[in-house]
Amino acid sequence: MTLQQLKYIIAVAEKGSINEAAKSLFISQPSLSNAIKDLENEINLTLFVRTNRGITLTNDGTEFLGYARQVTQQADILEEKYLTGIPQKQRFSISTQHYAFTANAFVELVKEFGGEEYEFTLRETTTSQIIEDVKLLRSELGVIYLSHYNETVIRKLLDESDIDFHPLFTVNPHVFLCKTHPLAHKDAIDLDDLAEYPCLTVEQGVHNSFYFSEEVLSTRSVKKSIKVTDRAALVNFIIGLNAYTISTGIFPKYLHGDDIISVPLNVDEQITVGILKHKDLTLTSLGEIYWEALENIAALTNSV
């Protein structure tokens, strides 16, 4: 197994075509096909399957790809430091539930990194996809929450995926509202107070189990429900429809000024937000910067 073969695997996976990958690598298609076949024979795994729509990764190939990306990134860092001295384009990705503070930490990452070239990815996605991304090393880190209701199921899934959960902070649930909402004046809100207002939740796709919900108390019945897939829509509906969502209560004001407020919810429940990391993964310097940014936010949260 060579570093060049790993780069070939990554290129084919990204292009979805042997022909297109060969062009980008400036080698012939037969040479690339033979290199991949040699690697598959060496490790005794089938990494790709060919279909009418092109070439796709097998399950083994998807897992292998995650490790290949990690190895090639570390090789680039070594080459930059000890051989060429030429800065390599740094790559970093995280997957997270739809939290404003994870975007805030991402801003701090970009500011502190200060490199000339980089390719960073912030994936706000479903809970199941976050776990899958971290499992396959598609993302270096993930951010999700655990509660009394979902913890047993989610922790079992994390254990099966060789993922550790590192707690950041624990808070009581809060209701996010527009500052002009009829309930905005209250010091605390009861669930019955919310009965007549639209409830916003993040759509979880095919894994639409209550355990994967981003919102605590997801099993309760509501009269008006709106599902969204992105944070911008959620914010717009809070402001425009007197809608609400239940979450951590942490919402950086610089993103939307004072338009959005959070009010404590009177329930016997807590939310523990934490970082997901694969047990076999050694953090890159970028991962360490992002982790520290999240911990700084957690310190401010815990001091309130």
CATH superfamily of 74-164+274-303: Periplasmic binding protein-like II (3.40.190.10)
Domains 3-68 and 74-164+274-303 share a fold: no
One-letter-per-residue 3-state SS of 66-126: HHHHHHHHHHHHHHHHHHHCCCCCEEEEEEECCCHHHHHHHHHHHHHHCCCCEEEEEEECC
| Among 200, 192, 196, 188, CA closest to 238 | 200
Fold of 3-68: Arc Repressor Mutant, subunit A (1.10.10)
Per residue of the chain (304 residues), give pLDDT as tens.
999 999 999 888 888 888 988 998 899 999 999 999 999 999 999 999 887 767 888 888 888 888 888 888 788 778 777 776 666 677 889 999 999 899 989 999 998 886 777 889 999 999 999 998 998 888 999 999 999 989 999 999 999 998 999 999 999 999 999 999 999 999 999 999 999 999 999 998 877 678 899 988 888 889 999 999 888 888 899 999 999 999 988 865 544 557 888 999 999 999 999 999 998 788 888 899 999 999 998 887 764 4
Alpha-carbon span 22 to 8, nearest angstrom: 9
pTM: 0.79
The encoded tokens of residue 39 equal 């690697």
Ordered by start, the domain boundaries in the chain are: 3-68, 74-164+274-303, 171-271
In angstroms, the Cα distances linking 144 to 63, 125, 178, 264 are 21, 10, 24, 20
Tokens 């090639």 appear where?
Answer: 72
| Contact predicate 89/117, CB 8 Å | yes
| Contact predicate 272/301, CB 8 Å | no
Identify the architecture of domain 171-271 in CATH: 3-Layer(aba) Sandwich (3.40)
Q: How many other CB atoms are there within 10 angstroms of residue 55's CB atom?
A: 20
In angstroms, the Cα distances linking 185 to 177, 234, 293 are 10, 21, 32
| Contact predicate 27/98, CB 8 Å | no
Alpha-carbon span 49 to 57, nearest angstrom: 6
| Contact predicate 301/169, CB 8 Å | yes
